């Protein structure tokens, strides 16, 4: 996304806890002819978010498009997951959204111009075995995003757009090892395809993007079917077995 935004003339700001990874992204942005700024931040610490937000605004001015894209996953069942990892999942995937919005949204509201983007997950719309903390964090991310969107609309700031993105598993390495029982309907999404869809959604001010398209049908069925039917549907699509061979990025490396 950083590269694609650079191609259309955006000055890109990259936040990451991994300095080397951020610097590599900066090089790719510059190779594409763009400009990028790198700031190292620990999104699990709200004081660090406030600190780096001030550095960012001092360096580049107001932010026009805020994309909350950071996320972590443990891939462990509830009783196997250490408490500190569950706390960190909630801090990065959910709590950080409060503080990035508090720092960058006021200038958008003042100008009645801007865009807030939240990369959530279909895991924020349902439950899944092996993703208790992750699902909880993405439910929280969606609730945070939807509530902020309502607050923006309540202020009649129609020039500030919001886009909520709810993808199925994306092949970035973060979910290495996951499987899908129905690849025709629910394939593991290629990263480039996901970026293409997300960019289109942002640039056309779409309020909601779910990937793949079959996800919209699932959302409708969740709202209509009783819990017992939803369990049968999860068994049919293999949702609760998808994490059985999960390895994740760290173990992969």
Three-state secondary structure call for residue 166: strand
pLDDT at 132: 96
Sign, Cα dihedral of 231, 235, 239, 245: positive
Burial class (CB in 10 A: 0-12, 13-18, 19+), 33: exposed
134-176 pLDDT, tens per residue? 999 999 999 999 999 999 999 999 999 999 999 999 998 888 9
Our CA angle for 178, 171, 162, nearest 5°, is 110
pLDDT at 251: 43
Residue 175 and residue 169 in contact, taking contact as beta carbons nearer than 8 Å: yes
Residue 249 has pLDDT above 90, yes or no: no
195-234 pLDDT, tens per residue? 999 999 999 999 999 999 999 999 999 989 999 998 898 8
Which residue among the candidates 99, 134, 193, 216 is catalytic per the annotation?
Answer: 134
Contacts of 150 (CB under 8 A, 6+ apart): none
Active site residue 134: yes
**240 to each of 40, 222, 243, 245, 247, how far by Cα in Å?**
36, 16, 7, 12, 16
Q: Is the pTM of this model over 0.85?
A: yes
74-130 pLDDT, tens per residue? 999 999 999 999 999 999 999 999 999 999 999 999 999 999 999 999 999 999 999
3-state helix, strand, coil split of the chain in percent (to 5) is 55, 15, 30
Residues 52, 247: Cα–Cα separation, whole Å: 32
Our CA angle for 134, 169, 129, nearest 5°, is 45
234-243 pLDDT, tens per residue? 888 888 889 9
Three-state secondary structure call for residue 188: coil
Question: Can you list the alpha helix ranges (DSSP code H) found in 8-119?
Answer: 19-31, 46-60, 83-90, 96-111
pLDDT at 42: 98
As a whole number, mean pLDDT of residues 11-17 equals 97
pLDDT at 105: 98
pLDDT at 33: 95
pLDDT at 250: 55
């Amino acid at each position: 996304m950083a590269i694609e935004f650079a191609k259309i003339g955006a000055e890109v700001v990259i936040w990451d806890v991994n300095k080397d990874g951020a610097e590599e992204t900066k090089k790719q942005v510059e190779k594409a002819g763009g400009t990028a700024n790198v700031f190292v931040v620990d999104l699990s610490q709200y004081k660090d978010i406030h600190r780096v937000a001030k550095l960012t605004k001092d360096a580049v001015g107001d932010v026009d498009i805020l994309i909350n894209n950071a996320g972590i996953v443990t891939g462990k069942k509830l009783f196997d997951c250490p408490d500190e990892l569950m706390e960190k999942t909630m801090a990065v995937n959910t709590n950080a959204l409060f503080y990035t919005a508090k720092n960058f949204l006021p200038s958008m509201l003042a100008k009645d111009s801007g865009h807030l983007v939240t990369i959530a997950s279909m895991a924020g719309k349902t439950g899944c075995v092996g993703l208790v903390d992750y699902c909880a964090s993405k439910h929280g991310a969606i609730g945070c995003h939807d509530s902020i969107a309502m607050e923006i609309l309540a202020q009649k700031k129609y020039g500030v757009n919001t886009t909520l993105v709810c993808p199925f598993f994306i092949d970035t390495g973060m979910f290495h090892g996951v499987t899908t029982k129905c690849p025709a309907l629910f394939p593991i999404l290629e990263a480039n395809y996901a970026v293409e869809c997300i960019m289109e959604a942002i640039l056309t001010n779409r309020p909601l993007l779910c990937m793949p398209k079959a996800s919209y049908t699932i959302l409708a069925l969740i709202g209509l079917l009783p819990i017992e039917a939803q369990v049968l549907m999860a068994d049919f699509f293999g949702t609760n077995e998808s994490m059985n061979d999960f390895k994740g990025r760290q173990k992969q490396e």
